[in-house]
Amino acid sequence: MSRVRRSAKLRYGDKELAIQQRLRALDTFRGMAIVFMIFVNDGAGGYWWLEHATWNGLAAGDLVFPAFLWIMGVCVPLSIKSAFAKGIPRWKILIHIVRRSFVMFLLGISLNTIYGSNMLSELRVFGVLQRLAFAYLVSAGFYALTAPKYYTPPRGACGQALKDVLSCVWCWILAGVLIALHSAITFILHDPNCPSGYLGPGGKHDDWYAPECSGGAAGYIDRLLLGSSHLYQNSDARTVYGGSVTDPEGLLGCLTSAVQALLGVQAGATVLLQRSHKARVSRWLAWALVFALAAALLAGFSRDHGVVPINKNLWSISFVLATSAVSLAILSICYTFTDAWRLWAGGPFRAPGLNAIALYVGHSICAHLFPFHWKIPVMRTHAIRLVEAVWGTALWVIIAHVMAKKKVFVTL
């Protein structure tokens, strides 16, 4: 209050942070993402619709990683405004963001050797944590640089209604630049022996139309700059279609991953600036509708025949919009039940959401260890594989609850 009296302005976020508890919906959503991610990585019972689409299209398993990335962006405004409220200088916040991104990237490279080679000449460079690290560096770093410590909402009904969007205007500009850059590279840059704008998996796809052009510009850039030996060698697309090596977490997709995190930043700004439950949920659902419609238009309301098909392997902009729309809808539901109506405490997902990184690293390290995984002579039925996947996932949920009860929270 002394700062308010001296400056006649309210430091952006102080009142929210003072009167509002940590939103249960954020931890619950993050927990749902990490639990389902573990379940999918454990095989998801062998059901195709619970795993990843081979190339174009959207399966349930494709929603997990972008949801985790998106909710990371949602938390960016809350954490940075909290740091501002504590008087932490902007440069210290930036150093923390860079350090955290660097540690996450190195940890991801280390985890790659669990499933791949540890030979330096064959070490996979990119992966899940590396993609998260890049998106966090861009979204959190840019927001920390451009977000004002003091914010005065514009006057008038229109300004008040759009104050959360106007507070993130620089993030929207950066997102537009990244989308334009990604689109230009995708449709202009290509291998000299491949057609421009090719978005297919190569190999025998489409009657061997472009057998050596797997992934189009994205695959070409990865093979050119990183080398085929440093990419993911066992992708589903390569198994099905053959063709050249492609990495689903490659270089070009980092641009649209950063866009997805920036869309999350906008949702987080809504939490800061819109005080009522109705205002928050209505805006999230409105954005979900806009993003879903835009994704459908880009994809041509089809799986394969749109201008930009929904594709996780390429992390296409239509994929970003579609999965962000689903994330907004799920967050709205979680928020309504956990924070608005307070009918649900978030269990059993909230505890895993408080230790998401620890659970991800732990389940990766224990990928082949008993009791998390086991086998019997006949593992060919969906029922047995589903029991094994649920068992391993449930153990990690129990571990998360034990850690939360003992107040052990692992952060980078």
Catalytic residues: 52
DSSP string for residues in 277-336: HHHHHHHHHHHHHHHHHHHHHHTTTSSSSSSS--BTTTT-HHHHHHHHHHHHHHHHHHHI
Residue 57's contacts (CB-CB under 8 Å, 6 or more residues apart) are 303, 309, 310, 311
Residue 174 structure tokens: 């950066």
Give the number of other Cβ atoms within 10 Å of residue 114's Cβ: 12
3-state secondary structure of 197: coil
3-state secondary structure of 27: helix
Residue 375's contacts (CB-CB under 8 Å, 6 or more residues apart) are 388
**Distance between CA atoms of residues 254 and 259, nearest Å:** 9
Compute CA 51 distance to the chain's CA centroid, rounded to the nearest angstrom.
17
Q: In this structure, are residues 72 and 137 in contact, taking their beta carbons and an 8 Å threshold?
A: no
Counting other chains too, the contacts that 185-192 makes at CB distance below 8 Å and 24 or more residues apart are 185/217, 185/221, 185/252, 186/216, 186/217, 186/218, 186/252, 186/314, 187/217, 188/217, 189/217, 189/220, 189/221, 190/216, 190/217, 190/220, 191/220
Q: What would you report as the CA-atom Rg of the chain, rounded to the nearest whole angstrom? A: 22
Q: In this structure, are residues 259 and 178 in contact, taking their beta carbons and an 8 Å threshold?
A: yes
Residue 404 burial (10 A CB sphere; 0-12, 13-18, 19+): middle
**Distance between CA atoms of residues 105 and 100, nearest Å:** 9
Instruction: State the Cα angle at 125 between 123 and 127, rounded to 5°.
Output: 115
Instruction: State the Cα angle at 325 between 320 and 329, rounded to 5°.
Output: 150
Q: In this structure, are residues 396 and 365 in contact, taking their beta carbons and an 8 Å threshold?
A: no
**Distance between CA atoms of residues 263 and 172, nearest Å:** 8
Instruction: State the Cα angle at 207 between 206 and 210, rounded to 5°.
Output: 70
Run of H or E including 188: helix 169-188
